[in-house]
């Protein structure tokens, strides 16, 4: 079958990979000249299979007033007149229950474990592709005793879902990750997960593009999809680059832009941008930088070593679709990095700054699967986990299009939920 994948971010490219391997003729269409030019460009580099709990959790609403009052807080909300934003916030608030959050965590873990197995298979299938992949392991640091106790309480729940994690004292954290030696006094402990990976999402995406081109997948770059129209029998045709792009099936993988593309069809998907930032520090040969993936739990900042660079990412700003960076947020991220890894940051005013829009759903689960239009499929809304979940989401979608949906996953991520 001929399948058009709209969007050449990590989700669209992974979709193209699994569809092509299933024997389909695939064309990938994107408005940019290069793949992964938007949110898949500078993300945190975490393949965070065990840390998928949604932002919408029972503790979050009580933290919001403090966070919203601080300019350097991890989450920020800039109210607008947009009904779309307020509706998203309402749905987010309704998802902040224990029951909902636990259910979403279970669902996402199924998808992330499937993604981990597929990523490891991908590494065996494509052994020459270098995208700074490391079986790094992950250390989530806690700065206060209450938070550490809460994390220890969660260990049993996480273990019951298949995560292998252990609680470490501050001294054990430093023994495992010596780059934390300078901040030994600031941390009370951490949770270590051996099975987490890190990699460069942009290098993964450009590598995938090369593999796809070699396998005969077509690319129509610099092609903006202006509209999706309904033709005879409810068949959807995409319009872009001055022509109608007809295909047996169309997969929408346009990240944070999906909402506006789908709205005219009467498909109201709750995907809204959560703006984030990253900094990439070059590392000299003698740099004292982490080799483990590190998360600063209180500040919601992640650190990943990507070859000879340190990627620092964080901040979640609900302030619309603009990609304009806010200098105060960049400064706050720089200050976080300087606190935890002063030796990396010292003398590196030249870190590369980046801003991206997480395609976030209120309850934190992506929307993957069919729509009421027979040839239109969605693979959107991966929020803060798009790199982590890309392989599983793409394989799930491929199974669905082929009429062989994975029974353990296919009921979880449909538009109807
Ligand atoms: C600061 C930050 C840190 C993050 N850290 C991590 C992390 O550590 N681990 C992780 O798993 N995830 C992380 N994420 C999330 C992850 O980056 C995203 O979930 C993922 O990149 C989304 O991929 P996507 O393909 O859906 O969207 P995108 O990468 O944005 O791709 C969508 C593509 O669609 C194209 N497009 C859109 N509209 C149209 C149109 N009308 N016509 C043609 N083309 C169109 C765009 O040009 C774009 O190329 C992070 C995100 C941010 C912002």
Tens digits of per-residue pLDDT, 156-171?
A: 888 888 898 999 999 9
- Buried/exposed code over 65-104 (b: 16+ C-beta within 10 A; e: otherwise): eebeeeeebbbbeeeeeeebbeebeeebeebbeeebbbbb
| pLDDT tens-digit map of 302-330 | 999 999 999 999 999 998 999 999 999 99
| pLDDT tens-digit map of 200-215 | 999 999 999 999 999 9
Nearest CA, atom 5, ligand 1: 44
pLDDT category at 392 given cuts 50, 70, 90 is: very high
Cβ pair 288, 343 in contact under 8 A:
yes
Q: Which two tokens stand for residue 63?
A: 């933290």
pLDDT of residue 343: 85
pLDDT of residue 79: 80
| pLDDT tens-digit map of 142-153 | 999 999 998 998
Of 97-111, 141-155, 335-349, the one with minimum mean pLDDT is 335-349
Q: Residue 102: CB partners within 8 Å, gap ≥ 6?
A: 157
pLDDT of residue 417: 36
Cβ pair 360, 384 in contact under 8 A:
yes
Average pLDDT over residues 49-74: 84
Q: What's the 291 CA to ligand 1 centre distance in angstroms?
A: 25
Task: Give the residue extent of every domain in the chain.
Answer: 53-96+133-197+274-358
CATH architecture classification, 53-96+133-197+274-358:
2-Layer Sandwich (3.30)
pLDDT category at 412 given cuts 50, 70, 90 is: low
| pLDDT tens-digit map of 87-99 | 999 999 999 999 9
Cβ pair 6, 251 in contact under 8 A:
yes
pLDDT of residue 415: 44
pLDDT of residue 407: 73
Nearest CA, atom 2, ligand 1: 43
Cβ pair 250, 1 in contact under 8 A:
no
- Nearest atom within ligand 1 for CA of residue 258: 38
Cβ pair 297, 143 in contact under 8 A:
yes
Mutate to test the pocket of ligand 1, among 4, 5, 9, 385 (most ligand atoms within 8 A of CB): 9
Q: What percentage of residues in the chain have a pLDDT greater than 70? A: 97
């Amino acid at each position: 079958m001929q399948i058009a994948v709209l969007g050449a971010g990590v989700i669209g490219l992974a979709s193209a990979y699994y569809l092509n391997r299933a024997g389909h003729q695939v064309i990938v269409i994107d408005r940019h000249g290069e793949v992964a030019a938007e949110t898949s460009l500078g993300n945190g580099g975490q393949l965070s299979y065990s840390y998928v709990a949604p932002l919408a959790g029972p503790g979050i609403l009580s933290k919001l007033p403090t966070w919203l009052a601080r300019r350097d807080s991890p989450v920020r909300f800039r109210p607008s007149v947009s009904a779309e934003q307020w509706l998203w916030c309402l749905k987010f608030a309704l998802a902040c229950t224990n029951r909902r959050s636990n259910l979403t965590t279970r669902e996402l873990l199924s998808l992330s474990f499937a993604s981990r197995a597929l990523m490891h298979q991908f590494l065996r299938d494509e052994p020459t592709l270098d995208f700074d992949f490391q079986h790094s392991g992950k250390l989530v640091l806690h700065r206060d005793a209450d938070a550490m106790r809460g994390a220890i309480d969660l260990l049993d729940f996480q273990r019951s879902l298949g995560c292998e994690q252990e609680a470490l004292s501050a001294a054990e954290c430093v023994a495992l990750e010596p780059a934390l030696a300078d901040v030994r006094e600031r941390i009370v402990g951490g949770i270590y997960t051996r099975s987490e990976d890190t990699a460069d999402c942009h290098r993964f995406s450009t590598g995938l593009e090369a593999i796809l081109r070699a396998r005969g997948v077509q690319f129509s770059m610099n092609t903006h999809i202006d509209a999706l129209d309904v033709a005879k029998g409810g068949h959807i045709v995409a319009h872009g680059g001055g022509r109608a792009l007809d295909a047996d099936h169309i997969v929408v993988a346009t990240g944070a832009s999906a909402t506006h593309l789908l709205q005219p069809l009467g498909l109201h998907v709750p995907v809204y941008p959560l703006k984030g930032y990253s900094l990439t520090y070059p590392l000299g040969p003698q740099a004292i930088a982490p080799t483990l993936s590190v998360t600063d739990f209180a500040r919601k900042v992640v650190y990943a070593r990507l070859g000879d660079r340190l990627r620092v990412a964080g901040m979640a700003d609900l302030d619309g679709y603009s990609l304009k960076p806010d200098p105060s947020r960049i400064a706050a991220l720089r200050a976080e990095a300087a606190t935890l890894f002063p030796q990396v940051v010292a003398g590196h005013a030249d870190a590369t700054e980046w801003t991206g829009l997480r395609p976030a759903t209120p309850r934190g689960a992506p929307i993957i699967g069919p729509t009421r239009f027979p040839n239109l499929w969605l693979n959107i809304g991966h929020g803060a986990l798009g790199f982590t979940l890309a392989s599983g989401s793409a394989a799930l979608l491929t199974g669905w299009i082929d009429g062989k949906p994975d029974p353990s996953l296919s009921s979880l991520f449909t538009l109807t939920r």
